[in-house]
Structure 1
Amino acid sequence: MTSLTIARPDDWHLHLRDGAMMRAVLPHTAQHFARAIIMPNLVPPVVTGAQALAYRDRILAALPEGMDFAPLMTLYLTEDTDPDDVEAAHASGLVKAVKLYPAGATTNSASGVADFGKIRDTLDRMAKIGLPLCVHGEVTDGDVDIFDREAVFIDRVLDPLRRATPGLRVVMEHITTSNAVDYARAQDDTLAATITTHHLVINRNHILAGGIKPHYYCLPVAKREEHRLALRNAATSGETRFFLGTDSAPHTDANKLLPCGCAGCFTAPNTMAILAQVFEEDAALDHLETFTSRNGPNFYGLPVNDTTITLTKTPSTMPTHVNTEEGPVTVFDPGFPLEWSAH
């Protein structure tokens, strides 16, 4: 196969940041993706419906003329979140999900949840109105190894939370382990899981072997090769509960290269080219549209996009950096020449 036309994809987990950074990176998502679930972990976080509306307006104002892109807004769940505000924001059509960050789990997560008992009323309301909960699935206990934090979260937090809130729709975001794949496969259709581009390509050796590679450092951190292969199997399987959420997370090189560098891989420019190559390698190009363009809308109750993009078997010429007013941002390097291009 040398050409493949699919329904235009969506990104079900995206960081756009704000201000100058947002203006620089937004076109790279809008070039290929029709919609994206926008992460709310700004400083300060997007907690209320009014803040989500203002953030959406800033995104749309930054969208270059002639580009068609719809930001799907989320609220940042805190222990003080008002269930009435959540319901009103959802009823208006503005907010498509609420994001749960365990406090201290990742970038700008200090305002997240430490006492899960304090979010009980909000979760019950979300289950009642059918609003999905997007979960960063890691515990933050200092005594839990960073490579085990996802598996421990499933057992200690996620499964009890779902049992206590029947009917709550949950997205396990950016899963990184075979444990998460197995758990997702064993659940009913109220649970789905997103998989990133970079976790299909790298394992922890890419970060640590032969010297530390800060541009491969992300959270949740990449795991052993056996886990990467489990993610590849899930993504390329055609199973309806798995879909694309890039977790594309731009940081300037200066912030990535600090002694305590930021976590995140910026994959928006080359995700579709990388995925075409991954799915071709796994003899699963017939499932690419399912993963990128159909499963996500089906879970969120939205129509599949009626526009298309075409992938062709021609080498991609991708920038190595995107320049912003704050400094350059390195584009994720998959470690192999890209043989596909997206148009």
Structure 2
Amino acid sequence: MTSLAPSPAANLTASLTLRRPDDWHLHLRDGAMLAAVLPETARHFARAIIMPNLVPPVATGAEAAAYRDRILAALPEGMAFEPLMTLYLTETTDPADVRAAAASGLVKAVKLYPAGATTNSHGGVRDLDKVRAVLETMAEIALPLCVHGEVTTPEVDIFDREAVFIDTVLDPLRRATPGLRVVMEHVTTTQGVAYARAGGPDLAATITTHHLILNRNHLLVGGIRPHYYCLPVAKREEHRLALRAAATSGEGRFFLGTDSAPHPDRLKEHPCGCAGCFTATNTLSLLAHVFEEEGALDRLEAFASLNGPAFYRLPANEDRIVLERRAAPVTFPAKIAAGDEWVTVFDPGFPVHWAVAG
């Protein structure tokens, strides 16, 4: 249970105790970047669903096992963290390999990237008929499909890609594969929220920290802000408000997936800048701020710590963390070093008073 305990100066500080949270959508990359960003997640999160869009992608059980070994090797001594591995769905994915990887306990989901939808998605799926056998196997063994829900056809406006995907791809896919368990990742629209709510027990949706904070004005008004550019792109204010209402509702179908996506500054601040917001460092502080604004601090634990494990059929974490509301604004590093590169930490653009204790 979440407890909100006022301090003696209740109007200035408070504490919030939660089960240790999990991140159900995380990019760790590899090499020097992996070593740099992994501690930022492991400091606060017990587990995370690890995205497989490396170059080359993590597409087989053997590749997932090797990537998991690299992640654990990069984990600083004294930190506890469990990477929950996924496979990158391709048109040549072997259903038997998926079945074996899931049966071993290594792989917790398969990721569907429509080809060209986001970073390193060029090897994604173009023809769903070519992966029917994989999807049917997944339905049989109850292995979730994590979906990047955007169409990539050039005639569809970038702000409409999610809504069109739901109507033309996701709904037909689910109707054709009864029993398939699906996570709509990083939903960004009122249509996405509505579809998740109407989808029954085999459908869930993750919501990112940054989409609870940003609308498209933040990205575009007064100049282009490359560190607010992400895919799916931030939408109108009405959609941000719908996401806030969903995240703070307490409904079990919605849970945290940060989509924290580190890129070197030189590739973000670039004529063709990469998509992604790096939020691992300050996500819990920002979530507490948002939930406090919405009068829903008592529902933060469900969103961050309980709903995700329930959908993935895993136990909730027993460890606890404490968030403290401080009188003075909390400061976070503006950047972190990744080898000889720098990664900018997401800046919400407002003072934040919540911090993880310790």
- Give yes or no for TM over 0.5: yes
- In the alignment, the residues of structure 2 paired with residue 178 and residue 304 of structure 1 have an alpha-carbon distance, to the nearest angstrom, of 29
Shift of 1:125: 0.2
Equivalent AA in structure 1 for residue 224 of structure 2: I
Match of 2:172 in 1: 160
Local SS of the residue matching 2:304: helix
Local SS of the residue matching 2:224: coil
Kept in 2, the 8 Å contact 1:21–1:326? The answer is no
Q: Find the partner of 1:188 among 176, 200, 204.
A: 200
Q: Does 1:338 align with 2:342?
A: no
- In the alignment, the residues of structure 1 paired with residue 128 and residue 272 of structure 2 have an alpha-carbon distance, to the nearest angstrom, of 29
Deviates more, 1:228-237 or 1:312-321: 312-321
Match of 1:245 in 2: 257
- In the alignment, the residues of structure 1 paired with residue 195 and residue 137 of structure 2 have an alpha-carbon distance, to the nearest angstrom, of 25
Shift of 1:40: 0.1
Equivalent AA in structure 1 for residue 145 of structure 2: L
Match of 1:9 in 2: 21
Equivalent AA in structure 1 for residue 175 of structure 2: R
Shift of 1:41: 0.1
Q: Find the partner of 1:204 among 206, 216, 221.
A: 216
- In the alignment, the residues of structure 2 paired with residue 326 and residue 95 of structure 1 have an alpha-carbon distance, to the nearest angstrom, of 32
Shift of 1:39: 0.1
Local SS of the residue matching 2:299: helix
Kept in 2, the 8 Å contact 1:249–1:264? The answer is yes
Q: Find the partner of 1:62 among 74, 88, 110.
A: 74
Shift of 1:326: 3.8
Match of 1:223 in 2: 235
Equivalent AA in structure 2 for residue 122 of structure 1: V
Kept in 2, the 8 Å contact 1:316–1:340? The answer is yes
- In the alignment, the residues of structure 2 paired with residue 36 and residue 257 of structure 1 have an alpha-carbon distance, to the nearest angstrom, of 28
Shift of 1:324: 1.0
Shift of 1:260: 0.3
Kept in 2, the 8 Å contact 1:134–1:173? The answer is yes
Match of 1:99 in 2: 111
Determine what percentage of the aligned residue pairs are the same residue: 73
Match of 1:320 in 2: 334
Local SS of the residue matching 1:192: strand
Matched ranges for 1:167-316 at <5 A: 167-314=179-326, 315-316=329-330
Kept in 2, the 8 Å contact 1:252–1:326? The answer is no
C-alpha RMSD of the superposition: 0.5
Deviates more, 1:314-323 or 1:65-74: 314-323
Structure 2: give runs of 5+ residues left out of the alignment.
1-5, 7-13
Local SS of the residue matching 1:322: strand
Matched ranges for 1:98-137 at <5 A: 98-137=110-149
- In the alignment, the residues of structure 2 paired with residue 57 and residue 178 of structure 1 have an alpha-carbon distance, to the nearest angstrom, of 39
Equivalent AA in structure 2 for residue 13 of structure 1: H
Kept in 2, the 8 Å contact 1:100–1:112? The answer is yes
Equivalent AA in structure 2 for residue 176 of structure 1: T
- In the alignment, the residues of structure 1 paired with residue 235 and residue 262 of structure 2 have an alpha-carbon distance, to the nearest angstrom, of 21
- In the alignment, the residues of structure 1 paired with residue 240 and residue 131 of structure 2 have an alpha-carbon distance, to the nearest angstrom, of 33
Shift of 1:317: 2.0
- In the alignment, the residues of structure 1 paired with residue 111 and residue 321 of structure 2 have an alpha-carbon distance, to the nearest angstrom, of 29
- In the alignment, the residues of structure 1 paired with residue 249 and residue 340 of structure 2 have an alpha-carbon distance, to the nearest angstrom, of 40
- In the alignment, the residues of structure 2 paired with residue 312 and residue 291 of structure 1 have an alpha-carbon distance, to the nearest angstrom, of 18
Local SS of the residue matching 1:90: helix
Local SS of the residue matching 2:108: strand
Equivalent AA in structure 1 for residue 263 of structure 2: H
- In the alignment, the residues of structure 2 paired with residue 180 and residue 172 of structure 1 have an alpha-carbon distance, to the nearest angstrom, of 8
Equivalent AA in structure 2 for residue 63 of structure 1: L
- In the alignment, the residues of structure 1 paired with residue 269 and residue 16 of structure 2 have an alpha-carbon distance, to the nearest angstrom, of 38
- In the alignment, the residues of structure 2 paired with residue 51 and residue 184 of structure 1 have an alpha-carbon distance, to the nearest angstrom, of 31
- In the alignment, the residues of structure 2 paired with residue 139 and residue 324 of structure 1 have an alpha-carbon distance, to the nearest angstrom, of 32
Count residues with an aligned counterpart. Answer: 343
- In the alignment, the residues of structure 1 paired with residue 213 and residue 45 of structure 2 have an alpha-carbon distance, to the nearest angstrom, of 20
- In the alignment, the residues of structure 1 paired with residue 292 and residue 217 of structure 2 have an alpha-carbon distance, to the nearest angstrom, of 23
Equivalent AA in structure 2 for residue 231 of structure 1: L
- In the alignment, the residues of structure 1 paired with residue 95 and residue 199 of structure 2 have an alpha-carbon distance, to the nearest angstrom, of 26
Q: Does 1:36 align with 2:48?
A: yes
- In the alignment, the residues of structure 2 paired with residue 151 and residue 220 of structure 1 have an alpha-carbon distance, to the nearest angstrom, of 11
Deviates more, 1:273-282 or 1:311-320: 311-320
Match of 1:149 in 2: 161
Deviant stretches of 4+, over 2 Å: none
Shift of 1:187: 1.3
Local SS of the residue matching 2:199: coil
CA deviation digits over 1:239-285, x for unaligned, max 9? Answer: 00000000000001000011000000000000000000000000000
- In the alignment, the residues of structure 1 paired with residue 247 and residue 330 of structure 2 have an alpha-carbon distance, to the nearest angstrom, of 22
Equivalent AA in structure 1 for residue 350 of structure 2: F
Local SS of the residue matching 1:122: helix
- In the alignment, the residues of structure 2 paired with residue 249 and residue 296 of structure 1 have an alpha-carbon distance, to the nearest angstrom, of 20
